[in-house]
């Protein structure tokens, strides 16, 4: 249950942040540096690092520390917590830059900077939290659905169509980046 909570807690932020996926064709939407810069701008617009840090702190507040083993795990996780937001952001930027074109990232950035985009982010995060509380794990369909995005914006619809592949890429990046934390959380 704890593993599901942490993975979902971390992952729902990714899912709420981006609907993305397939590999970018070489030369599509600009160079790698420009695509990565667009992914970084999007993370800033979404406030991903800050959102992750908030979730991590909430999780750490509820960690059991009754036994020596639990105390040791809790201490290690608390020591690693200050780097969670930046590492999470880096992993998501890697997945987004590999999944989107620069134009799609720019369209997502513009949308999520708008009032409508901010409302959708709040709705998506709320769905994730409620889904986590009621079923113990979050599925992509609980977070951000292609039909949630404006249909009159082709770049947003293209990004939404790539969502399943992005999800796989993001999961792999996050599993690699947070392997130590996952091992500590799932230890019995």
Q: What percent of the chain has pLDDT over 70?
A: 73
Q: How far apart are CA 90 and CA 12, in angstroms?
A: 16
**pLDDT value, residue 137:** 57
**pLDDT value, residue 136:** 53
Task: Find the mean pLDDT for residues 100-104.
Answer: 92
Task: Find the mean pLDDT for residues 47-57.
Answer: 87
Residues 157-174 pLDDT 10s: 888 888 778 888 988 999
Most distant CA pair in the chain, distance: 57
pTM for this prediction: 0.77
Q: Which residue ranges make up each domain of the chain?
A: 2-15+31-186
Q: Is 137 exposed, middle or buried (0-12, 13-18, 19+ CB in 10 A)?
A: middle
Tokens for 158? 């293209």
Q: For all residues of the chain together, what is the average pLDDT? A: 79
Task: Find the mean pLDDT for residues 89-101.
Answer: 93
**pLDDT value, residue 12:** 45
CB-CB neighbours of 161 under 10 Å: 15
Q: What percent of the chain has pLDDT over 90?
A: 37
């Amino acid at each position: 249950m704890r593993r599901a909570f942490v993975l979902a807690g971390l992952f729902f932020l990714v899912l709420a942040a981006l609907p993305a996926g397939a590999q970018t064709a070489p030369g599509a939407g600009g160079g790698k540096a420009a695509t990565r810069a667009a992914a970084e701008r999007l993370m800033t617009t979404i406030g991903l690092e800050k959102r992750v840090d908030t979730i991590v702190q909430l999780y750490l507040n509820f960690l059991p520390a009754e036994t020596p083993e639990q105390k040791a795990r809790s201490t290690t996780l608390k020591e690693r917590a200050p780097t969670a937001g930046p590492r999470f952001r880096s992993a998501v930027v890697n997945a987004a830059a590999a999944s989107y074109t620069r134009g799609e990232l720019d369209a997502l950035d513009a949308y999520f900077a708008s009032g409508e985009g901010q409302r959708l982010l709040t709705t998506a995060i709320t769905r994730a939290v409620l889904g986590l509380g009621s079923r113990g794990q979050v599925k992509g369909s609980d977070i951000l659905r292609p039909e949630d995005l404006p249909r009159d914006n082709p770049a947003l619809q293209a990004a939404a169509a790539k969502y399943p592949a992005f999800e796989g890429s993001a999961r792999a990046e996050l599993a690699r980046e947070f392997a130590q934390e996952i091992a500590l959380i799932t230890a019995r």
